[in-house]
Chains A and B, each alone.
Chain A
Amino acid sequence: MLISGGFLKTLIHSLAALPAVIGIIELLRWIAGVLFSVPFEPQILMAPSSALLFMVYGSAIFFRIRNPLSHVLQRIEVFMVSIAAFVALLIFFLSFLGIHLNAEHLGIPISGMAGKVPIGNMSPVTAFCFVLAAVSFLMILPSTLDQTRHAKIAFWLACAIIMISFFLLIAHFLGEPWILGKSIRPPASSTSIAFFALGLSLFILDRHAIQSKSIGGIKETGELIIPVFLMFAIGVISTGYFYFLNYQKHYRTEVEGTLSSIVDLKVSDLMQWRKERLGDASIFYKNANFSGLVQRFLKQPRNADARERLRRWLQLLQAAHNYDKVFLIDINGVERMSVPDFPKHFLHDNFSEVLSSKQVSFLDLHRDSGMTHIHMSIRVPIINEQDTSGVFAILIMHIDPEQYLYPVIESWPTSSRTAETLLIRRDRNDVLFLSELRFQKDSALKVRIPLSRKEVPAVKAVLGETGILEGMDYRGKRVLGCVRPIPGSPWFIVARIDMEEVNEPTRQKLFGLIVVVGSLLLGSGAYFGLARRKQFINIYKERYEQSEALRSSEERYHNILDNMLEGCQIIGFDWRYIYVNDEAAKQGGTVKEELIDNTIMEKYPGIDHTEMFGVLRDCLEKRTTRIIENEFIYPDSTKRWFKLSIEPVLEGIFILSLDITERKLIEEMNRNHTAELEQRVSERTVQLQNVVKELEAFSYSVSHDLRAPLRAINGFATILFEDYNEKLNDEGKRVLNVIRENVNKMSNLINDMLNLSRVSRQDIKFSMIDMTIVVQNVIEELKSGFPEQRVRFHINSLPMAYGDSKMIVQVFVNLLSNAFKFTSKKDNALIEVNGWSEDNGYVYSIKDNGVGFDMQYAHKLFNIFQRLHSSDEFEGTGIGLAIIKRIIDKHGGRVWAEGKVNEGATFYFTLPAKGEKSNEYANI
């Protein structure tokens, strides 16, 4: 973690707060400056607007690092930074239009110019950096940091800010802040420092955000080393480069200064020297005593006194000022006196100009013909002030340049291998070197350089240039020179030094720098390399651990897959088997090795025309999951069923196959069985239907054919009774009656049986039935059937019922007629009919106080032909209750009875409410 540990944390917090602190300090400086009326130096200062923006940015980043989770703070930060960025952008564009807002001064009265721009306004570079910083900051926010791209943008923007501020700092450090020219204000040094801190904070914030979001993780940090190293290398190299340039410049200036001062010194020396010489001359020039003495000597050459006095003058002069020779000539050029007394020498000097000008003058350095040594001379015309006869003699003072002049010129105050001073003058179209050259012996007054060679500093000098200049010297070497004319003389002085020597220290410095920078780069490169290596090692270690973990988990799953009871196979996008477990291979009728790396089409030719293949292709292309059951036909034509679960995986498709042949067989058997059963049922149904038809035919014929003979028996018995009444005795008549009664019983029995059969066959026609009315009607009818019987009725209000009205009437007829029948022997017969609603329907009861029955036979009551009384006691067929049970069953209700011998019986039946009826029995 970047942000960890107390010290590091404090450092990062300080770094984040630094821009804000700098901003505050700069603002205070402005205010203090105004308050104490300190004039603002025309230097580069941080604008108040920049200071304010730094306060905004610094605090935003500070709080972002401190409270990264606060949403409220984040909103404020985003708002403030956005506003600040907008302001910076505005200033950036306005500065290009040359508009400088006074609002930037924040009310501080600032005026003045720095370079070509007013002070107190933000530099466009500063504004640009503020915009970059804002974008970088906004990119780091958690809400926008979902993408690694954002983090990268933020990272590179922070780097850009660091780089820019770094360059600016170097520029300030080297004292050359105006890197963009005088018209574009550079950021102040404090601004650069603040941006450096800001860039670093953003950088750290970005890294921190990435780590806390764990985007990219190791990879990001791994990649980071190279740009950081590059940045460092560029910084080191550019620092070195700038340092070198600066040093070179400074050294050159220094050398130039030296040259100039040497030249200036020599010029003044020479001027002084000439002035002194002229001063020497002036002692004799227009000196009445001296001219009188000369005049006397010339007129009286033998006058010893005059000669001796003159000689003393001249000796004094020669000795005092170390003249090579002082001598006096007359206007004819004849030497009259010489000190020291050398042999006469030939005077080539044309001193007519002295005669005409009557002024003291120098005869420049020259070599007299036939003489080897060089000298210069001062010529003093001797004039008698009183008479106007003019010049009558000339005093000539020979100066040996070796005595003073040449040493002065040749002297060099510092030790130098190549530096020298030259004394030159123009000699027609040449430059003549007057002094001895350092690198050329016997050169004085011998070496000439034509004026056409303009690269030579000496030529430049005589052509009017002064000061520092570069060029080629007489040796053809590059030199740095300083030239200056010596006023009042034809001389020029040239101080020159070889470029080689000038550059040598800088070259040495360069070597030194290269060594330092190189070793820094090597060292840091090694460090970063090691760091990167270590990181790589960590990465690979982590990867190894991950892959190891993956491998072990893979192995685990592999084992699971291998040993699964289901078949597992993975087919790649090229339809090749990637993985097959033993079970899958077994299911495929082959072994693993046969399948792996082969395509499914190769292994199972023709499979691409099957429906299953379509499903696989869908899964492969459209990534759909399917579960299908598929019949697999082996080459030997055996078939097995498989349940295939097909789902898309990274490598292609995963197929889980389960052999379901057994289940399929059972299903098949079940299906066959069911079909067989259905077949059987339908056969039975047909049989039953036939039976029913037979039964119908039977009952039809029973009703017809059985009744016809009964009618005949009855009818003919009656005829016998009527027509042969007289011939029959009483016993005969009784027998005939027995016959007729039994025939009637038989007839009733047949009727009841037909009823029962009809009830069973008929469908129910449902409708709402008013049970009270039904009961009343039935009772009315029964009353007329049993006219002699006196029965009391209690009919309570009965709930409406839902059923087949005819059948329900039949139920009441049967139950009530039973009640009539079984109360016929009671004196106070009472029949109660009740009805009430129950859970899902209605219950109706018919209670009588008749003969009742023994409850132990209750379960038999509703059986067909079941009778509990002899037909002597109560006539009946034993079918009535069976019919009731059939009807109630058909309606989905229940019927039961309670009773006690001689106390009566209660019959109950239920009918389901509308909608509650179960049709279970509807077709019975």
Chain B
Amino acid sequence: MNMPIFEILLVEDNPADVELTMRGLKKHNLANKVFVVRDGAEALEYIFATGQYADRNMEDTPKLILLDLKLPKVDGLEVLQKIKSDEKTKLIPVVVLTSSREEKDVVESYKLGVNSYIVKPVDFDKFVQAVGELGLYWVLLNEPPM
């Protein structure tokens, strides 16, 4: 199956959050470039083109990964660690987008090489604004090193 190329990979298990995130991205016209996976394992399969995504071209890396930390199966930090420890994927910008303000999560994420850490605001407007800004910066403005 020849999959369309997605610029943003959203790893999020909560459908409400997925919808809210998508709405935020949509407001900045980024929604059609988003692929959503629902757990850490699926995220890894997608990124490394294994399992159900085995026929995906691994060369088509997303421009941004939005990663929730609290995920079923494989948790966000482990996913982050796998991405950042693989030569082929470590250049992909990863932004942790999570409800956790726990310092240890923040510190651990940065240690693993996260590019940005965003706490999801409860306030919807702020949330939309934060997601939108993220998408704009990393997808449109950031020039990845080639």
Contacts and interface: CB of A to CB of B under 8 A. Distances in A.
Interface of A: 700, 703-705, 707-712, 714-719, 740, 743-744, 746-747, 751, 754, 758
Of all A-B residue pairs in the complex, the 4 with the closest CB atoms, nearest first, are A712-B16, A718-B124, A747-B122, A715-B20
B125 interface: yes
B59 interface: no
B103 A758 contact: yes
B127 interface: yes
Contact of A711 (B70, B101, B124): B124
B99 A711 contact: yes
A710 B122 contact: yes
Interface string B63-86: 000000010000000000000000
A705 B120 CA distance: 12
A744 B122 contact: yes
B17 interface: yes
A715 B17 CA distance: 9
A708 B15 CA distance: 10
Contact of A715 (B98, B101, B103, B124): B124
A710 B16 CA distance: 10
B20 A711 contact: yes
A711 B100 contact: no
A717 B127 CA distance: 13
A705 B23 CA distance: 21
A715 B16 contact: yes
Contacts of B122: 707, 710-711, 714, 743-744, 746-747
A713 to B, nearest CB: 9
Contact of B99 (A704, A717, A718, A744): A704
A78 B101 CA distance: 102
Interface of B: 14, 16-17, 19-20, 23, 70, 98-103, 120-125, 127
Contacts of A708: 14, 16-17, 99
A709 B17 CA distance: 9
A714 B103 contact: no
24 contacts: A703-B99, A703-B101, A703-B102, A704-B70, A705-B99, A707-B99, A708-B17, A711-B120, A711-B122, A711-B127, A712-B17, A715-B16, A715-B23, A715-B127, A716-B16, A716-B20, A718-B124, A718-B125, A719-B23, A719-B124, A740-B124, A744-B122, A746-B122, A747-B122
Given A711-B127, A712-B16, A715-B20, 12 more contacts: A703-B99, A703-B100, A704-B100, A705-B70, A705-B99, A707-B99, A712-B20, A714-B124, A715-B19, A715-B124, A716-B20, A758-B103
Nearest to A723: B23
A718 B102 CA distance: 27
Nearest to B101: A703
Contacts of B98: 704
A754 B19 CA distance: 27
Nearest to A700: B102
Contacts of B101: 703, 751, 754
Contacts of A703: 99-102
Nearest to A718: B124
A744 B121 CA distance: 10
Contact of A707 (B19, B120, B124, B125): B120
A277 to B, nearest CB: 176
A711 B118 CA distance: 14
Contacts of B17: 708, 711-712
B49 to A, nearest CB: 30
Contacts of B120: 707, 711
A710 B100 CA distance: 14
Nearest to A758: B103
A708 B68 CA distance: 12
A719 B124 CA distance: 9
B40 to A, nearest CB: 15
Nearest to B14: A708
A751 B119 CA distance: 12
A707 to B, nearest CB: 4
A420 B127 CA distance: 180
Contacts of B127: 711, 715
Nearest to A719: B23
A810 to B, nearest CB: 13
Contacts of A709: 16
Nearest to B121: A711
A700 B69 CA distance: 11
A278 B125 CA distance: 203
A712 B123 CA distance: 9
Nearest to A748: B122
Nearest to A717: B124
Contacts of B20: 711-712, 715-716
Contacts of A710: 122
Nearest to A710: B122
B119 to A, nearest CB: 9
Contacts of A712: 14, 16-17, 20
A712 B102 CA distance: 20
A642 B14 CA distance: 75
A378 to B, nearest CB: 180
Contacts of A717: 124
A703 to B, nearest CB: 5
Nearest to B122: A747
A747 to B, nearest CB: 4
Contacts of B123: 714, 740, 744, 747
Q: Pick the most buried of A703, A708, A715, A747: most chain B CB atoms within 10 A of its CB.
A: A715
B128 to A, nearest CB: 8
Contacts of A743: 122
B126 to A, nearest CB: 10
Contacts of A758: 103
A740 B124 CA distance: 9
Nearest to B23: A719
- Residue among A700, A704, A746, A751 with max Cβ neighbours from chain B (10 Å): A704
A717 B120 CA distance: 16
A102 to B, nearest CB: 117
Contacts of B14: 708, 712
Nearest to A696: B102
A714 B20 CA distance: 10
B99 to A, nearest CB: 4
Contacts of A705: 70, 99
A718 B16 CA distance: 13
A754 B99 CA distance: 12
A716 B16 CA distance: 8
Given A717-B124, A747-B122, A711 B102 contact: no
A698 to B, nearest CB: 12
A740 B19 CA distance: 18
A716 B18 CA distance: 12
Q: Choose among A705, A712, A740, A744 the residue with the greatest number of B CB atoms under 10 Å from its CB.
A: A712
B75 to A, nearest CB: 11
A746 B123 CA distance: 11
Nearest to A755: B101
Given A708-B17, A714-B124, A747-B122, A700 B23 contact: no
A740 B98 CA distance: 20
Nearest to B16: A712
A743 B17 CA distance: 16
A703 B17 CA distance: 15
A703 B106 CA distance: 13
B85 to A, nearest CB: 25
Chain B CB count within 10 A is highest, among A700, A740, A744, A754, for A700
A263 B101 CA distance: 164
B35 to A, nearest CB: 21
Nearest to A711: B122
A706 to B, nearest CB: 8
Nearest to B15: A712
Contacts of A714: 122-124
A416 B68 CA distance: 168
B106 to A, nearest CB: 12
A704 B102 CA distance: 10
A715 B18 CA distance: 11
B69 to A, nearest CB: 8
